[in-house]
Amino acid sequence: MIWIMLMAAAIFGYLAYDAARLSMPAKDVPYSLTAKAWGEDVAHVSLAEQEKRKQYNAVRGLGDLSQSVWLFGILSASCLAGAGYSFYA
């Protein structure tokens, strides 16, 4: 069980590192990339309308995905704590 927790901690630690390296503030990401992920075609949509959709998405949608660094970091620390507890218990 300890080895599984240590491997999970290593995997989550790498994912946290990778997410931190690749993270970018949501305001710097063009809406066309977000729309492409959802399968939405914005070729016919004006830039002003895309900006409105981007603001709507930031407030009510997915928001800032750079926060996934925290998620993977917390998961990694939790797995390490679980492995440590299993080792000493």
Instruction: List pLDDT tens digits, range 20-77.
Output: 887 777 677 777 777 777 787 888 888 888 888 887 776 666 555 677 888 999 999 9
The residue type found at 9 is: A
Contact of 3 with 82, CB cutoff 8 Å: no
Return the domain boundaries, the chain.
2-88
pLDDT surpassing 80 at residue 86: yes
For 28, residues 6+ apart whose C-beta sits below 8 A from its C-beta are none
